[in-house]
Structure 1
Amino acid sequence: MDVLNPFYIFQLFSVILWSADEYYYYAVAIVFMSVISIATSLYTIKKQYVMLHDLVAAHSIVRVSVSDIEEALSTDLVPGDVMVIPSNGTIMPCDAVLVSGTCIVNESMLTGESVPVTKTNLPNPGEGDKEGDGAYSMEEHKRHTLFCGTHIIQTRFYSGELVKAVVVRTGFSTAKGQLVRSILYPKPTDFKLYRDAYLFLLCLVAIAGIGFVYSIVLSIMNKTIIIESLDIITITVPPALPAAMTAGIVYAQRRLKRIGIFCISPQRINICGQLNLVCFDKTGTLTEDGLDLWGVQRVENGTFHLSEENAYKESLVKSQFVACMATCHSLTKIDGQLSGDPLDLKMFEATGWVSDRNWTFNLCPSLFLHPSSVFRAEICGKCGGQVIGIVRQFPFSSALQRMCVVARLLGEKRMDAYLKGAPEVVASLCKKDTVPEDFAEVLEDYTKQGFRVIALAHRRLESKLTWHKVQNINRDQMEANMEFLGLIIMQNKLKAETAGVLEDLRRAHIRTVMVTGDNMLTAISVARDCGMIPPQDRVIIADALPSKDGQSIESFSVMSTINISSTDPKSQDQYHFAMSGKSFAVITEHFQDVLQKLVLHGTVFARMAPDQKTQLIEALQSVDYFVGMCGDGANDCGALKRAHGGISLSELEASVASPFTSRTPNISCVPSLIREGRAALITSFCVFKFMALYSIIQYISVTLLYSILSNLGDFQFLFIDIAIILLIVFTMSLNPAWKELVSRRPPSGLISGPLLFSVLTQILICLGFQTIAFLWVRHQAWYDIWTPESE
């Protein structure tokens, strides 16, 4: 299809016409350039095709459970087949839901998140358990689903059972297939420059039509009338225009590559020159990936203790608080190293405990030992050591904002449930008398300072609960009536480059927005620290509640205004909206008219789910913003693809559909991309104006010569078309981007007053001078009138 581009068809027509007119030199030059252009394009397409083929190809032998275990090709799998997941791991050839066992999975190919996640089997509903009666949903049961293309690192099974999964989707219907489809059929880029370019070319065609009619009216010799008339069209609409327009983009792409920014959609470079708003993810993008433990604040008898720097104290070793820190996570040992979420790693390291899976302890998949428990004798309790085994894990869910584990201390008959998650969520699941009265004030104090706060809770389970009963118990039942244990305070530092880059964008009048899954007040604090929200400006938290029990949604307050750390009366005119994902969902569904006003002044969007980030990008685009998105690839893939200029800071496969990928792990790539985009865009405008002016000048020259039945010679055409025009066009595009990002943006389209005035003025000046020179020469005494008979 690339070879059948309308411009290449027009070039073929032009080459045939020039050959008929014996203008071979320029025809050969155009053919040479076109062949190189097509060959380069086809090579790029072929290279991308091979990359996609390698990404999609998943031909392997899998074990399928029918009446017995048998082997089958992965390409023969259909929904409903039962796969046996090998214990040594595999690459999933389809989407499947776990029905028995547990898997440790690397989902970086899809989510961009390099941290392995734990997938558990679908819960088996017990008697009277209505939770398991619902239909399977990919979104709702994501923590039980193994996605196509993800890497199964380890499997865990109990009592010799096989780890089995039921195939639910294959081919392009899988999550990986949808990713590949988005690469094959990306959303078309509707850019005003390209629309205006076609309108401009139509104007040139109309002018060529006038010249075509004029040349016929002149009644040139019959054998040349058609060729000479059609030649007017090739003069007015230059066939070299596509190559000339592409030059600036190609040079910009090379400059971007030199600074570590790679592009899979070169046409997006021009669009990046128009960006006037950039959305940023927080964790890993504006702030460092890792978290540092700032301290802990325990709760006893419904009262907060003073904050403590760490939990590695002898007095806390046997406390439920430390036991929760040591067990309530999804860490797993891979090749002797603990792997998992950075927050979980920091939390576990702070306890001073170690992990060991070599002990067999009542079917528990993981054991966590205190460092003093070195010898088996100590483990058994002779020296006070502790061993805790995890009996069941309820993985972290972004929708629920919490995770839970059931564990048992060696030597104890009763089990314990430990809960970890967002403070507001954990507190709502605890007994009211165990939650301190000043809980909200303490939490707000920490989050305003930019700390990331995690809450812990515990529950002593009944002795009648056996291992088998625990495996089938409902999650909601397990997480009810908890006792609040306290808070873990984590510190997430800003990257060194963040504040400076955001200041550069602010000076360039480019609006910045934070889109994060973190706590609202933490996000606002980080936004103030990095300069996204100036200290003197107000922050208004927009809040919308969903309807309950059939109550009309209109009866709820749409917004509640909260003034956060702003006491300057002069700042009342400067305000920023902040809202949570829940409020965004309600406003998107029920208050579309309010949504546009909110996104025009919204700066912080917290607790946002991945699909909500994409919806926000679309909402910003609907109010005529050119939107950029910068994220580390974790849960940002949809937004990166939907934005006009998506920049991924991750080189993992999930970011392959992002138009741009930066090797620089910070946001300093954003101003560089915008500057190069502006340079490419300005070059495109200049080249288009220059080529249009050159075409009109040559058109005027040929039309004047046609009036005396003459024309330019072949070498005159060749000198103009190659020596003058192409040389200038390709060297003009070599100009690098300006080293600073300025506030003035280039125009977005060709149909604008200043640009049209510039072109039309130049055309009129050239028309006047050429006509005057032509008439003046004809009136000179030495001028002899040429006629065909004079030869």
Structure 2
Amino acid sequence: MEKGDLKILNKGEEEEMELQGYRLCRWRLALVGFGVFCTGGFLLLLLYWMPQWCVKSTCTRTTARDAEVVLLRSTDEFRRWFLARVRVMLAPGSNPFHSLETQTTSPSPPSSHSCTFSNSASPPLAKGQTPHPSNGRPAQELITKFSDYQPTQIRYFTFHSTKYYWNNEVQNFKVLTGLEDLQVSCSTLHLEHTAGLSRNLQEYRRLFFGVNEIAVKVPSVFKLLIKEVLNPFYIFQLFSVILWSADEYYYYAVAIVFMSVISIATSLYTIKKQYIMLHDMVAAHSVVRVSVCRANNEIEEILSTDLVPGDVMVIPRNGTIMPCDAVLISGTCIVNESMLTGESVPVTKTNLPNPASGQQGEVDDAYNTEEHKRHTLFCGTNVIQTRFYTGELVKAVVICTGFSTAKGQLVRSILYPKPTDFKLYRDAYLFLLCLVAVAGIGFIYSIVLSILNKVPAKTIIIESLDIITITVPPALPAAMTAGIVYAQRRLKHIGIFCISPQRINLCGQINLVCFDKTGTLTEDGLDLWGVQRVENGSFHQSEENAYKENLVKSPFVACMPPCHSLTKIDGQLSGDPLDLKMFEATGWILEEATEEETSLHNRIMPTVVRPPKQLLPPEPVLSAEQDMELYEISSVYEIGIVRQFPFSSALQRMSIVARVLGEKRMDAYMKGAPEAVASLCKKETVPENFAEVLESYTREGFRVIALAHRRLEAKLTWHKVQNIGRDHIESNMEFLGLIIMQNKLKAETPGVLQDLHKANIRTVMVTGDNMLTAISVARDCGMIPPEDKIIIADALHPHDGQAAKITWRYADKPQKPRLEEININFEDVSHVEEPKTQEMYHFAMNGKSFAVIAEHFPDMLQKLVLHGTVFARMAPDQKTQLIETLQGVDYFVGMCGDGANDCGALKRAHGGISLSELEASVASPFTSRTPNISCVPSLIREGRAALITSFCVFKFMALYSIIQYISVTLLYSILSNLGDFQFLFIDIAIILLIVFTMSLNPAWKELVSRRPPSGLISGPLLFSVLTQILICLSFQTITFLWVRQQPWYTTWTPLTDVCNLSSNQNLSDHNDTEIDEHNIQNFENTSLFYVSSFQYLIVAIVFSKGKPFRQPSYKNWPFVLSVVSLYFFLLFIMFHPVKGIDEFLEIVCVPFEWRVKLSLVIVVNAAVSVVVETFVLDVVLWKLVFSRDKQSNFGITPAAPTSQGVIDLRAHKCLSWLCCPYKKAPKARYMHLAQELSVDPDWPPKPTTTTEAKPRPDNCSSYQIMIGS
């Protein structure tokens, strides 16, 4: 394949893919068809499982431009393959953003931001490839409607509900999302996109953008059934059933079919239910009637499915559910965005600023959904109220539709989730391949032995293939999912709901959990702790409140009630909890104008706030000559909100313009983050000790809000204020003081974090709050112990020719001993007579520093996250990036948030659990009804239990296969085999019963510091499986050889049956017995049947692990009852032969002394298995050799060892030297890093120093130098 033929789609994005073009080849298609016929359809199945083989075997390589089929491959770690058919659409033009008139003739040169999708030199269409429009309308209808235009062929393909169009300019397929593709400026949106589209232009654009709907098609049961049945395991089961039926082994075949039908039915029900739930969620209000503006100034009512980017939608007065993403260009809306953010809090949306209208301070940037989200109405959000000018409409320009909207992207993330990368499943496939190799040996052995003994060909084929079905058990998938199903039920019982059951096992591996702060670690609401006013540039003493009569009209008090985004909905005050708490604390009253009042004026009637009468100063006594009307005006104190500049997370502030009733001049009030507010105030109004006072509050965990005020110029009229930029208002302010809010920890938080730390699970805080507040909360909740040091990393972007740099400083003044004196090498601690106390350090940084470090110090970022504990002021995408970085150093990451801005991180984490049940959290794998973090240990405990159950079941099924394989192979050597009913008894009465009961062990009651292995290819598990295989092989072989050495042994016939020798009556009965053609009934078969049946129970007991991850097996009464019953039954039929049972199981009567010897073999077998598994493996090897979570060895969670710990460490080193003479490096990347840093004398960076980034040399990573302060 030529390098130039490889195209990259979505470069730099999460869905980045490689694309190769192919053209169908007739002779290859014919050859593949012949192969499918010759293989009975198996080749078709193989090509279905391997799309890359399908494309390469039926097509020839061509350029992407001429492709009829494209082969896609993801560039992530999974490297998945997909194929898509390229279609051809007829359209009257080549660019949806050009008018139709410009496309009837040769188009003019496109602008710098336009895209040309025409394919003027398109290759001839393949036979049967019919041009058609993408919206599904017949091509003839389109040609008739646009008969005056030259039709153009547009090539595209659809992948994951997204259409990719061929773009001639970039010579690649590109996605059309909407108006953002044009990089249109805010002023251009106002000037060129507010008139609306003509009907023809709307129809034309709909050819490219399709119908405006988020279509979640619920597949038919038949389609889901076919997809499920074509799973490789079910195909193998079908092969096994056919083979068993040919061998007349109908009973187990029926049992497997019955189990498979139940498994498939359950899976279909679950998948169908999830599709229906998602469909219902999306379909609600997805089709509504909307009003749009036409180019001829008409208002037309259409279905929302007809909307296209560029349409101008009229937002109704009584609100609506938004059917698309649109930017507000006139009026104001109150919106509930809980569907997207998870916060059921009304948000005020204002119209997009228009720099061309003369607004001062506004930069004419290109419209961006993220940057201008305060002006954007997102699809699926609920517009509660609108505010408008009389005679004018509240309008919004449609930006994007369908799956390109914010809601569409959320639905796509649910429909097409990223696959779960879990070592267990990869190792399971490797282990199965090993079993297949073992089966291959038995297959060849069986064929050779049968040919040498001149066995009929049919028997050779059936018995040889039977070896494969024995070694690779068809019931394995059902057995492996049993533990997950039971864990899911237990989670549901405690209020944790799961939409991705496979992630339950992943949760068992979690060793780091990220927590949001507000609403997760702390309470949702804030309480007003106090205020600290500023006068004449100096702080007053802090006060519980400032609402005294003499201060009620002061700027400080006047700033609190109007500076908010609150509104009344159904008579109830609603809005941001912080705004709500501040407003309620003042005791003021908010009044909003009714529609009737607004209609009497030529402008929006302002929202008014006023104090209750009891807070006002006493009324003056009137003289008789005073004008009553003037008195009424002077005695009423009201503040009207003239204009609002909404809170911006980027600016960290909000402001309003207000007027006091009766005053001629207006006032500007601002509140926000203290640092941001102080930077916009006159220097002389900000107290000199501002930083110290602020730090004192934030260190104690308070949330601090700063207030500022400015008296506006008299020349600023109401109309001018409506068109002025916020930068002009938010300058030269006077600093008024601080509002101190208290965010209390949830009662459960400290205890849960302590449990996680005891279990060696790291905890990290990821919040959008102030860093010092976050550090204080981290200390209060126990995330950072009091004695640990905190190093703050302040990073700055390169500027003025200077390189990017990081400044390191302590969050607290260093206590003894100093950090630079700390030795982080813990491996030699046993050599110290008096072990010294090790001091830990933690890194803290904000979102800006995180972005700088990720861009300019990528190598250092991994080192920082190794000890990073507090990440503050983090944007939603930065939270996701942090999760990815932690996963990049091999942490298994859990994420717990309240659903607000955490969706991306919740989806990306190995185990994301949302504390919100709102629609935005549907993408989270787990949702908890318990509104605190106590669900996290429960989820990890259940995950560990499910993971250990999966290991136990897999090991048991592997041993079951090998035990049966050994029995059959030994019997094949004497041309014998196990009987059908012996197979049936083993497979159903023992195996299935044991598998489904041994999975019922509940999770252990507490988290322990040891984690279960992450995969099957690990020391403990391989040692366990291999030793048990050797034990079973040894005792079966001993039994097989020993029985042939007995003095009474002879070739079994009914006449030589021991029971017949002791009873003449039995002799006469057995004389009528038919000759055993298959040589099933013999002494070897009976002896091996007894021993192997007990071996299944023995390995079930030794593999059914309890503490520390599951409850002990003796508490699992169904398992205990099953095992005890089977033991009694086997002992009963062994020591008290029953004619009917013996004939059914095709076993023979053996001498009593041989039964005693067999019982001794079984007892010794059990003793050896138990000792090896429970003592040698669990006590000696696991604790002293295989232990991998001794993180203190790598500087992660050090603790001063006790004298007993020193002895254990010496024993560990001694045994490790004996068993593993060469020191094995840790597998996890974070352990490698910790090991390297523990011997690095320059790590951690010294506080009061600076690290600068140097330019990257070619093919080299960035590196840093340390510079003293």
Deviation at 1:300, TM superposition (A): 1.2
**Do 1:123 and 1:132's aligned partners in 2 also have CA atoms closer than 8 Å?**
no
**Cα gap change, 1:128/1:397 in structure 2, threshold over 3 Å: closer, same or farther?**
closer
Provide the residue aligned with 2:787 in structure 1: 536
Equivalent residue, structure 1, for 2:287 = 59
Q: CA deviation at 1:358?
A: 3.7
Q: Indicate which of 3, 21, 25 corresponds to 2:247.
A: 21
Distance change (3 Å), C-alpha of 1:790 and 1:186: closer
Contact 2:361 2:726 in 1 (8 A): no
The superposition leaves residues 169-216 of structure 1 with CA deviations (integer Å, 9 ceiling, x where unpaired) of 111100000000110111111111111110000000000111111111
Residue number in structure 2 paired with 1:459: 710
Matches within 5 A, 1:316-395: 316-358=551-593, 360=597, 363-372=604-613, 381-382=632-633, 384-395=635-646
Q: 1:670 aligns to what?
A: 936
How many aligned residue pairs are there? 787
Given candidates 206, 210, 226, the residue that maps to 2:437 is 206
**Corresponding residue for 1:84?**
314
**Alpha-carbon separation, structure 1, partners of 2:1002 and 2:854:** 42
For the residues of structure 1 that align with 2:361 and 2:677, how far apart are their CA atoms?
23
- Tell me which of 1001, 1010, 1024 is aligned to 1:758: 1024
Residue pairs, 1:597-608, within 5 angstroms: 597-608=863-874
Q: Is the 8 A contact 1:693 1:763 kept in 2?
A: yes
Residue 349 of structure 2 corresponds to 119
User: SS of the residue aligned with 1:117?
Assistant: strand
For the Cα contact (< 8 Å) 2:976–2:1079, is it kept in 1?
no
RMSD: 1.9
Distance in 2 (alpha carbons) for counterparts of 1:344 and 1:153: 19
Distance 1:223 1:738 in 2: 52
**1:183·1:657 contact (CA, 8 Å) conserved in 2?**
yes
Contact 1:458 / 1:485 at 8 angstroms: preserved in 2? yes
Distance, in Å, in 2 between the alignment partners of 1:105 and 1:523 is 29
User: SS in structure 1 opposite 2:474?
Assistant: coil
> Following TM superposition, by how much is the alpha carbon of 1:383 offset from its aligned partner in structure 2, in angstroms?
6.3
Residues of 2 paired with 1:255 and 1:368: CA distance? 52
- State the partner residue of 2:386: 155
Whether 2:400 is the aligned partner of 1:169: answer yes
Q: What SS does the corresponding residue of 1:119 show, helix, strand or coil?
A: strand
Equivalent position of 1:646 in the other structure: 912
Aligned position for 2:733: 482
- The separation in 2 between residues aligned to 1:421 and 1:789, in whole angstroms, is 88
SS in 2 for 1:287: coil
Q: 1:605 to 1:381 in 2, by over 3 A?
A: farther
Alignment partner, residue 49 of structure 2:
none
2:327 maps to which residue?
A: 97
- 1:221 deviation in Å? 1.7
Q: Is the 8 A contact 2:331 2:350 kept in 1?
A: yes
Residue 1073 of structure 2 aligns with which residue?
none
State which of 795, 810, 825 in structure 2 corresponds to 1:562.
810
Deviates more, 1:383-392 or 1:564-573: 564-573
Distance of 1:618 and 1:158 partners within structure 2 = 47
Q: Could you tell me which residue of structure 2 aligns to residue 782 of structure 1? A: 1049
CA displacement, residues 680-700 of structure 1 (integer Å, 9 cap, x when unaligned) = 000100100000000000011
Cα pair 1:92 1:148 within 8 Å, conserved: yes
Q: Which amino acid aligns with 2:456?
A: M
Confirm whether residue 553 of structure 1 aligns to residue 803 of structure 2.
yes
- Equivalent-residue separation in structure 1 for 2:488 and 2:774 (angstroms): 34
CA contact (8 A) 1:7 1:239 kept: yes
The residue type equivalent to 2:264 in the other structure is I
Q: C-alpha distance in 2, partners of 1:129/1:292?
A: 38
Q: Is the 8 A contact 2:362 2:727 kept in 1?
A: no
> Which structure is higher in RCO with an 8 Å CA cutoff and minimum separation 6?
1
Match of 1:470 among 721, 724, 735: 721
Q: 1:788 to 1:615 in 2, by over 3 A?
A: same
Counterpart mapping for 1:416-427 below 5 A: 416-427=667-678
Deviations 1:747-790 (A, max 9, x none): 11101112111111111111111112112223443331689598
* Deviations 1:92-131, CA, capped at 9 Å, x for gaps: 0000000000010000000001111000000122338573
1:685 corresponds in structure 2 to 951
Distance 2:1078 2:306 in 1: 80
CA contact (8 A) 1:422 1:453 kept: yes
Q: CA deviation at 1:642?
A: 0.5
Partner of 1:178: 409
Alpha-carbon distance, 1:265 to partner: 0.4
Aligned with 2:466 (options 205, 209, 231): 231
Aligned to 2:419: 188
1:686-742 CA-to-partner distances (Å, cap 9, x unmatched) read 100000000000011111111222211111111100110111111111000010111
Match of 2:276? 50
Q: For residues 137-174 of structure 1, what are the alpha-carbon distances to aligned partners after superposition, in whole Å with 9 as ceiling and x for unaligned?
A: 11111100000000011111123311110000111100
Q: Is the 8 A contact 1:104 1:117 kept in 2?
A: yes
How big is the shift at 1:13? 0.9
* Gap runs ≥5 in structure 2: 1-226, 617-627, 823-838, 1054-1075, 1081-1269
> How much has 1:484 moved relative to structure 2?
0.7
- Alignment of 1:38 with 2:252, yes or no, is no
**Take 1:545 and 1:16, find their aligned partners in 2: how far apart are those partners?**
69
3-state DSSP class of the match of 2:795?
Answer: coil
Distance 1:406 1:347 in 2: 18
The Cα offsets for residues 359-390 of structure 1, whole Å up to 9 and x where unpaired, read as 75863341112111999x99984563311111
Contact 2:358 2:723 in 1 (8 A): no
* d(CA) in 2 for partners of 1:318, 1:513: 45
Structure 1 stretches of 5 or more lacking a match? none
Aligned-partner SS, 1:48: helix
Q: Say which of 297, 303, 310 aligns to 2:538.
A: 303
Residue pair 1:111, 1:633 contacting (<8 A) in 2 also: yes
2:228 aligned counterpart, secondary structure: coil
Structure whose alpha-carbon radius of gyration is higher: 2
Q: Which TM-score applies when normalising by structure 1?
A: 0.97
Q: 1:715 aligned to 2:941?
A: no
Identity %, equivalent residues: 82
Alpha-carbon separation, structure 2, partners of 1:710 and 1:768: 20
Aligned partner (choices 215, 222, 228) of residue 2 of structure 1 = 228
Equivalents in 2 of 1:496, 1:611: separation in Å? 30
Letter in 2 for 1:18: W
Contact kept, 8 Å, 1:628 with 1:643, in 2: the verdict is: yes
CA distance in 2, matches of 1:568, 1:492: 31
Contact 1:536 1:568 in 2 (8 A): no
Tell me the distance in 1 between the aligned counterparts of 2:629 and 2:367: 46
| Distance in 1 separating the partners of 2:255 and 2:630 | 83
Aligned to 2:691, the other structure's residue is in SS state helix
1:622-678 per-position Cα deviation (integer Å, ceiling 9, x unaligned): 111000000001111111110000010000011000000000000000000000000
In structure 2, what residue type is equivalent to 1:112?
A: G
Counterparts in 2 of 1:721 and 1:150: CA distance versus 1, 3 Å: same
Matched, 1:255 2:461: no
Q: Which residue of 1 aligns with 2:299?
A: 69
* Structure 2 CA distance for partners of 1:378 and 1:210, relative to 1, 3 Å: farther
Alpha-carbon distance between aligned partners in 1 of 2:391 and 2:743, rounded to the nearest angstrom: 43
The one-letter amino acid of 2:410's match is L
Distance of 1:380 and 1:672 partners within structure 2: 66
With normalisation by structure 2, the TM-score equals 0.61
- 1:326-354 deviations in Å (ceiling 9; x for gaps): 11110110011100111101111121110
TM-superposed CA distance for 1:298, in Å, is 0.9
